[in-house]
Amino acid sequence: MENITSIQNNRVKAWTKLQTKKGRQVSQTYLIDGWHLVQEAINHGGKLHAIMATQAQYDLHQAELPLGVPVFFIYDDIAKKLSDLVTPQGIFAEVSLPTANRAPQYIHDGAWLFLDAIQDPGNVGTMVRTADAAGFTGVVFGAGSVDPFAPKAIRAMQGSQFHVQIASGDLKEWITEFKRNEFVVYGTQLDPEAVDLFTIQPQTQFALVMGNEGQGMSTELAQMTSQNLYIPLAGHAESLNVGVAAGIAMFALRQR
Amino acid sequence: MENITSIQNNRVKAWTKLQTKKGRQVSQTYLIDGWHLVQEAINHGGKLHAIMATQAQYDLHQAELPLGVPVFFIYDDIAKKLSDLVTPQGIFAEVSLPTANRAPQYIHDGAWLFLDAIQDPGNVGTMVRTADAAGFTGVVFGAGSVDPFAPKAIRAMQGSQFHVQIASGDLKEWITEFKRNEFVVYGTQLDPEAVDLFTIQPQTQFALVMGNEGQGMSTELAQMTSQNLYIPLAGHAESLNVGVAAGIAMFALRQR
């Protein structure tokens, strides 16, 4: 076990770079922050490369740490440097990004969430967490969507990235291949010309596309789906938060 | 029309105080930020006391501003002082807090959302917005819940505070009085011993209690409800974001 005492330490500099997308792509790893996430990674097959812990956190969780993963002791100021929280817990792990995407033509079942240009890391994180809770198999990040492994997104996922598959790709290709594989692909729109979501029979194999916070789903994708759905809104509300809308749609469409 | 040129101006100081709960209680007003909210206030009966706009925003929206409300010209640095956004639009209004709560014994119909110690302003704002979209009549902020008129909450509401009633009070009293008035009061729990939410027949008159982000609903309230419900979770997910859970529950329970 190595004691890291300086914020100028080379490893600290390398871990700090994981806060950026570029840094994560170079290393093919990302950081998780806090015991809950480290535990989820341990219990659900995350590949751990390093654990960084304050003495206090190490003492608390020592018995549950996996063998063969190097542990580094850090001080509070280093924990603050690694975290985007004001008061981080003081335990982190560096874990592998998921391995390369399965190509969509090899996906044959399950419910899948497609994200078209969703911008807010908190929103995408919440949607991955909800997809997990709704029994979805995977979430596909389309062009223009925020990186799934940004620290704020990871925090909102609460470990669900270890339970559902996370892929990135061109949604035009994913929609085409899914339809070839006899998935129904549902788009979502605010347009009441679309079909009322609550009239659809719940099922186990389909894809659901959620669109950008401001613009909704792109016209191009909306023309490719099997059917476009809307959530009927009462009152004077004009729209829903995209994370809430995704939650309502996923729980309404996925057969329990 | 008055030109406000200095950040030290007395009015600017007074408006800045509306960013705090204490300031809002002294003035019985709060600030809304951005044209969308100002427009919602104008169109849905918000009582406006002042409009503050940069020259550019005034030129854009002049024709839609109500007569009889004083307008103050502000510069970008003052707009930044009044806003908690990095790049505010440059138009604000000072509007009245809702008038005193109706006592719960005088409430005879509609769907109501009760918030038990919800802490995050973004979450409560999203829940008010979703309540509006689900056709709810009002939202009651129980003890320990964040102030509904905090800037971040107001931003997440997107104007829905002008469409649904916002009240604050002791939820023990609200639950008791609602049950006396023959409302069904649903609690929400993570406990699968509770009743599956999706087995409940949608209705138009009821209350739904959502609990604190970490602890859930207080035991005391859980014992007072008519029935406690849970959202069945698939996979390994342990819970849902409270705003998402509230959205799923409101759309499942409210008859359309």
Per-residue pLDDT reduced to its tens digit, B48-62: 999 999 999 999 999
A108 touches chain B (CB under 8 A): no
The length of chain A is: 256
Q: Which residues of A touch B232 (CB under 8 A)?
A: 256
CA–CA min distance A234, chain B (Å): 5
Q: Regarding the domain with residue range A2-96, which homologous superfamily does it belong to in the CATH classification?
A: Ribosomal protein L30/S12 (3.30.1330.30)
Burial of B84 (0-12, 13-18, 19+ CB in 10 A): middle
What is the DSSP secondary-structure string of chain B? -EE---TT-HHHHHHHHTTSHHHHHHHTEEEEESHHHHHHHHHTT--EEEEEE-HHHHHHHGGGSPTTS-EEE--HHHHHHH-SSSS--SEEEEEEPPPSPPPGGG--SSEEEEESS---HHHHHHHHHHHHHTT--EEEE-TTPPPTTSHHHHHHHTTGGGTSEEEE--HHHHHHHHHHTT-EEEEE-S-TTSEEGGGSPPBSSEEEEE-BTTTBS-HHHHTTSSEEEEPPP-TT-----HHHHHHHHHHHHB--
Mean pLDDT, chain B, rounded, equals 94
A203 shares contact with chain B (CB less than 8 Å): no
How many CB atoms sit inside 10 A of residue B108's CB? 9
**Residue A252: closest CA among B182, B252, B70, B158:** B252
Instruction: Give alpha helix (H) positions in chain A.
Output: 10-17, 21-27, 35-43, 55-61, 76-82, 121-133, 151-157, 171-180, 219-222, 242-253
Average confidence (pLDDT) over A117-126: 96
Q: Is the pLDDT of residue A93 over 90?
A: yes
Q: Which residue has the tokens 């029309």?
A: B1
- Residue-wise pLDDT tens digits, B171-205: 999 999 999 999 999 999 987 778 999 999 999 99
- What span, in angstroms and rounded, lies between the C-alpha atoms of B97 and B46? 9
Q: ipTM of this complex > 0.95? A: no
How much is the pLDDT for A253? 97
Mean pLDDT of B204-231: 95
Q: 3-class SS at A74?
A: coil
- pLDDT for B75: 95
Please say whether the beta carbons of B156 and A239 come within 8 A: no
Give the alpha-carbon dihedral of B30, B33, B37, B43, to 10 degrees: 60
Candidates A241, A242, A255, A256: best to mutate against B (most CBs of B within 10 A) is A241
pLDDT of B249 reads: 97
* Residue A69 token pair: 């993963």
Mutate to test the interface with A, among B164, B236, B254 (most CBs of A within 10 A): B236
* SS3 state of residue A158: coil
- For strands B111-115 and B138-141, give the pairing: parallel
Cβ-defined contact of B133 to A252 (cutoff 8 Å): no
Q: Distance from CA of residue B185 to its chain's centroid?
A: 20
Contacts of B117 (CB under 8 A, 6+ apart): B142, B143, B144, B145, B211, B212, B215, B218
Average pLDDT over residues A143-172: 95
- What is the share, in percent, of chain B residues with pLDDT greater than 90? 87
What average pLDDT score do residues B126-143 get?
Answer: 96
A253 touches chain B (CB under 8 A): no
pLDDT at B135: 96
In sequence order, the 6+-apart residues with CB closer than 8 A to the CB of A63 are none
Asked if pLDDT for residue A145 goes beyond 80, the answer is yes
State the pLDDT at residue A193. Answer: 77
Question: How much is the pLDDT for B226?
Answer: 96
Q: Per-residue pLDDT for B1 more than 80?
A: no
B182, two tokens: 């023959």
Cite the residue boundaries of each domain of chain B with CATH code 3.40.1280.10: 104-253
The pLDDT of residue B190 is 82
A189-204 pLDDT tens trace: 987 778 999 999 999 9
Structure confidence at residue B195 (pLDDT): 95
Question: Which part of chain B is CATH 3.30.1330.30?
Answer: 2-96
In this prediction, residues B74-97 reach a mean pLDDT of 95
- Determine whether domain A104-253 maps to CATH 3.30.1490.20: no
Residue B102 pLDDT: 80
Give the nearest chain A residue to B44 (CA atoms): A236
Q: Which residue of B has its CA nearest to A237?
A: B133
Residues A163/B237, Cβ–Cβ less than 8 Å: yes
Residue of A114, A147, A139, A120 lying closest to B237 (CA atoms)? A139
Residue with tokens 């009322």: A196
**pLDDT, chain A, mean:** 94
Q: Give the pLDDT confidence score for residue A150 in this predicted structure.
A: 94
A187 touches chain B (CB under 8 A): no
